[in-house]
Amino acid sequence: MKLFVKPKSKRTALWIGAFVALSIAIYFPVYLGVIHSDAYNSATNFIKQNQTVNRLIGGNLSCNLKLFSGYSIKHTFGSGRAKFNIYVTSQRDKGKVSIGLEKSRGDWRIIRAELHTSKNSNVITLK
């Protein structure tokens, strides 16, 4: 099965290349804005300080967000909602934290957090 089909003309190849380049040029700044947002920082701080995560995954956590999926931020004038699927790793184990936040009066607070570990198929509610 072929993953890529050779374009029939140079013009088609140029349009495909332009579309890919434009998509990356638009999407990458959005991704950078998300990982530098107050909502994402609140979520990662919660994860790194959570005793359950540190006990099950390990200390000295690294938190990562996938480039093209796993996050949503919507906010207006001091209120909003955010959702992230943050992948956590340590030297001992790895997992994923699905976390929801809500912004009211200018502060992001955790409204839901669930840990999915690689060793255990159970979902652990955090808080």
Residue 78 domain flag: yes
How high is the pLDDT of residue 62?
94
Domain interval for residue 98: 38-125
The DSSP string of 28-94 is HHHHHHHHTSHHHHHHHHHHHH-HHHHHHT-SS-EEEE-SSSSEEEEEETTEEEEEEEEEEE-SS-E
How high is the pLDDT of residue 4?
66
How high is the pLDDT of residue 27?
82
In CATH, what number is assigned to the domain containing residue 44? 3.10.450.320
Residue 44 domain flag: yes
pLDDT digits (tens, 9 = 90+) for 76-122: 887 899 999 999 999 989 999 999 999 988 889 999 999 998 777 77
Q: Give the number of domains in the chain.
A: 1
**Across residues 57-65, what is the average pLDDT?**
91
How high is the pLDDT of residue 11?
83
pTM metric for this prediction:
0.80
How high is the pLDDT of residue 90?
92
Residue 24 domain flag: no
